[in-house]
Structure 1
Amino acid sequence: MKRLLASTSVMRQTVTLAIMIIASSVSDAFQIHHLASREEFIAKGRSPLRRTSSSSSALGMATWSNGQAIREYQEFLASGMELMDIGKSEIDMEDDGPSVIVKSSNPSSVTALTDGIVALGKGTDLLITPGTSLPASMGDKPSYPIYITIPPYELKSFIQNLDDEWKGRSEDFVFFSGGKICGVVEPILREFGMCRESMTQVVVGFSLPKPSAAGITRKPEDLSCNIGTDANGEEKWAGESATCGKWNGAVASRLSANAIRCKTVFYREWRRAMWERALYDAVWNVVGAVREEPTDHADVAMFFELEASDMMWEIANNLRGGLAVTLMYGFEDRLFSMAEMRGKDEPCELTDEMFDFVQNVFPGRNRMLLEYLNYAKDQRGLLQGVNVPPVPSQLSELPSKIRQGNLRADGNI
């Protein structure tokens, strides 16, 4: 009976994925030929996108010639057979409870993420450093979430140096992505075979306040924003947290108990949400950081909209061709809305230690992004400790709107 239930569940998941692929194809075609409604953008006070037919044609060729989507579908079917073999019909939805939180062993590398996850708990969590023996149980449960809150630039070393005890508990690890603190860790996890359906991952859609002068850490707050309703009258949200994997229920429960929205999704949908957030983190920070005056995320949305929009679409095209990731329709509206509603006083920053996890993570030759990054290094004195890739077919000079620094949409310098 268990094998029959497992078989039925796998068939249901397979049909669901097939529907998602068809819907994605329809969405892709719609985005290629109808990238944005002029009336919609004018109604929002925004300019229509500047696209060319040649880019759309190249985009289509890149999408359908990429074999990664087929390979991932085959892996999905293989994972379904594994579930059948163990008689398990679906991933369990576990509740929140006492957990282990892993912080960096270097005191200077302990990030606001560590303090934030501790603050979201109920005071029953155990805070440890890598290499410490894991408890046999937490709250009388032999299995519990292990939140990995070390910074991205220490993550590879952490995984490489796991001992047998920790390796045996890797299914309980919880990894974070999104924002200037967490960035994109997919390349590292994929290298060690940790990008899979059962692995718990979280897109951070909440604030991570730094400790005050008195050493008191405020609890993280929800950063999601309601941006209206869709054609069916359902609410649309931007910037919300998302989680997938074994402990997705525990993560969502912990966040919702602190008034933070969090959706639980399958890995492939989570991956789309993660890359959408990565797009925001890269574009908004680089477009704003090259200015002569301090610029926040809301400023980028208001004054440098066309630059941010063009850069987003260039990167999004390469995501589809390079990683077989198609962002959900309406991503541009969501990201601009998030910047307008949550980006005030959020400074645009480029840092050496996070460069490889925020800006230098996208596939393809993203010319516009590289132009801005090289300008930031050569003319603004930023990113001096990293090797910024050269601009493809290097131009003798950058566009005047970059060189002039602060030419805003309202005509003021």
Structure 2
Amino acid sequence: MANITLALSSSTLFQLTRKPTSRFTPRIEAMASTTKSRTKVVPAVIVGGGRVGKALNDMGNGDDLLVKRGEPVPLDFEGPILVCTRNDDLDAVLEFTPKPRWNDLVFFQNGMLEPWLESKGLGNADQVLAYFAISKLGEPPVDGITDTNPEGLTASYGKWASAVADRLHAGGLTCKVLDKEAFQKQMLEKLIWISAFMLVGARHPGATVGRVEKEYRSEVSSLIAELATAAAAEKGLVFEGAMEDRLCAYSRAVAHFPTAVKEFKWRNGWFYSLSEKAIAEGKPDPCPLHTAWLKELKVV
């Protein structure tokens, strides 16, 4: 069958598609359609074989290199290096990545990476806000398309931003390319989402993200407002209006997600550091509700 397809000219293939003349035609038409619809994706090194890494690898054209824990990133593989590990493994990723390749790193991690990136001289590193959910290894991602953002929320920034967007589009996901300022606002907004919904959910054992949005809306609304005010003051920026509506809409899109306060250093820990800094300077806590609930759960 493969030989028959290769032997056909484009005009012959067109005629077969329009006017079936043999029992092979439906298969040929399907193969032609698949070939046309397949997007060319820039080959990448993918660090991390978990849910996100596996999904990104599946979106490629088969010429990516999947690097697992403890394996070195090659010096001579051109293209982006998509980092899909846990945040606490990032130091090890740098250790196994040749320094000349650091400017090709693309970080997919949730949370506040800025202090860590700056400490490594990577203040302008490529990043991706992955507003999609993958419940189990090997399952297709569920895009974070919401009723307030039907165009999707996933965003990329940096040198390889367009290549990342093309890969996600090939996998049926949305992704927009943003400049640094716009990306920072959306990064902080997602940080507020994960910090607020996880903390409120942890106060109500067994609560999913959807249940928090539906049953504990007043709690999460108060926390979103508090964290947004603190983040805006710290970074000297102004968020777009209706943040609560956007974050609650996203929660409805991934309603099945469980809640827990995890990776504290990278998530709620950033807001708690603002509280500690203010208190040390004799100023009021900018996040008193957040601090009180962390103490209630004995997180701090």
Short-chain TM bin:
0.7 to 0.9
Query: Take 2:65 and 2:91, find their aligned partners in 1: how far apart are those partners?
Result: 23
**RMSD of aligned residue pairs (Cα, Å):** 2.1
In 1, the alpha carbon distance for the partners of 2:288 and 2:79 equals: 44
1:317 pairs with 2:229: yes
Of residues 206, 216, 220, the one that matches 2:141 is 220
Q: Can you list the C-alpha shifts for 1:113-138, whole angstroms capped at 9, x where unaligned?
A: 2222222222221012456251524x
Whichever residue aligns with residue 255 of structure 2, its letter is K
Could you tell me which residue of structure 2 aligns to residue 115 of structure 1? 54
Aligned to 1:75: none
1:126 partnered with 2:60: no
User: What does residue 126 of structure 2 align with?
Assistant: 200
1:100 paired residue number:
45
Shift of 1:279: 0.5
Q: Secondary structure at the match of 2:123?
A: coil
Query: Partners in 1 of 2:238 and 2:120 — Cα distance?
Result: 24
SS of match in other structure, 2:118? helix
Report the number of matched residues: 248
In 2, are the aligned partners of 1:120 and 1:219 still within 8 Å (CA)? no
Deviation at 1:359, TM superposition (A): 1.5
Distance 1:131 1:125, change over 3 A: same
Aligned equivalents of 1:367, 1:240: Cα separation in 2: 29
Superposed CA deviations along residues 44-86 of structure 1, whole A, max 9, x for unmatched, are xxxxxxxxxxxxxxxxxxxxxxxxxxxxxxxxxxxxxxxxxxx
1:153 aligns with 2:88: yes
- Partner residue in 2 for 1:32: none
**TM-score when normalising by structure 2:** 0.76
Q: Report the Cα distance in structure 2 between the residues aligned to 1:189 and 1:298, rounded to whole angstroms.
A: 32
* Residue deviations 1:181-213 (CA, integer Å, cap 9, x gap): xx33222112122122xx3210011112322xx
- The one-letter code matched in structure 2 to 1:337 is A
Instruction: State the distance in 2 between where 1:275 and 1:224 align.
Output: 19
- 2:151 touches 2:174 (CA, 8 Å); kept in 1? no
Give the conservation status (yes or no) of the 8 Å contact 1:238–1:334.
no
- Which residue in the other structure is 1:398 paired with? none
Q: 1:262 aligns with which of 172, 175, 186?
A: 175
Gaps of 5+ in 1: 1-94, 104-109, 138-142, 212-216, 228-235, 378-382, 389-413
Whichever residue aligns with residue 286 of structure 1, its letter is: L
Residue 157 of structure 1 deviates from its aligned partner by 4.2
Matched with 1:30 is none
The answer to whether structure 1 residue 169 and structure 2 residue 112 are counterparts is: no
The alignment's TM-score, normalised by the length of structure 1, stands at: 0.56
Kindly state the Cα deviation for residue 335 of structure 1 after the two structures are TM-superposed.
0.6
Tell me, in whole angstroms, the C-alpha distance in 1 between the residues paired with 2:189 and 2:209.
Answer: 16
Q: Which residue of structure 2 lines up, in the alignment, with residue 367 of structure 1?
A: 288
Q: Distance in 2 between matches of 1:245 and 1:296?
A: 33
Contact 1:120–1:220 (Cα < 8 Å) also in 2: no
Distance (Å, rounded) in 2 between the aligned partners of 1:359 and 1:308:
14
Amino acid at match of 1:171: N
Q: Aligned residue for 1:278?
A: 191
What is the identity, as a one-letter code, of the residue corresponding to 1:136?
D
- Secondary structure class of the residue paired with 2:133: coil
Give 1:302 shift: 1.6
- Separation (CA, whole Å) in 1 of partners of 2:227 and 2:103: 32
Identity %: 25
Taking structure 1 as reference, are residues 270 and 355 closer, same or farther at Cα in structure 2, changes over 3 Å only?
same
**Deviation (angstroms), 1:239:** 5.9
| Change beyond 3 A, Cα 1:175–1:374 | same
Q: Which amino acid aligns with 2:204?
A: R
Amino acid at match of 1:271: Q
Letter in 2 for 1:304: Y
Q: Report the Cα offset of residue 345 of structure 1.
A: 1.8
2-structure distance, mates of 1:177, 1:290:
25
> One-letter code of the match for 2:83?
I
Q: Distance in 2 between matches of 1:295 and 1:286?
A: 11
- 3-state SS of 1:360 partner: helix
- Determine if the alignment matches structure 1 residue 356 to structure 2 residue 265: yes
1:144 matched to 2:79: yes
Unaligned runs of 5+ in 2: 1-39, 276-286
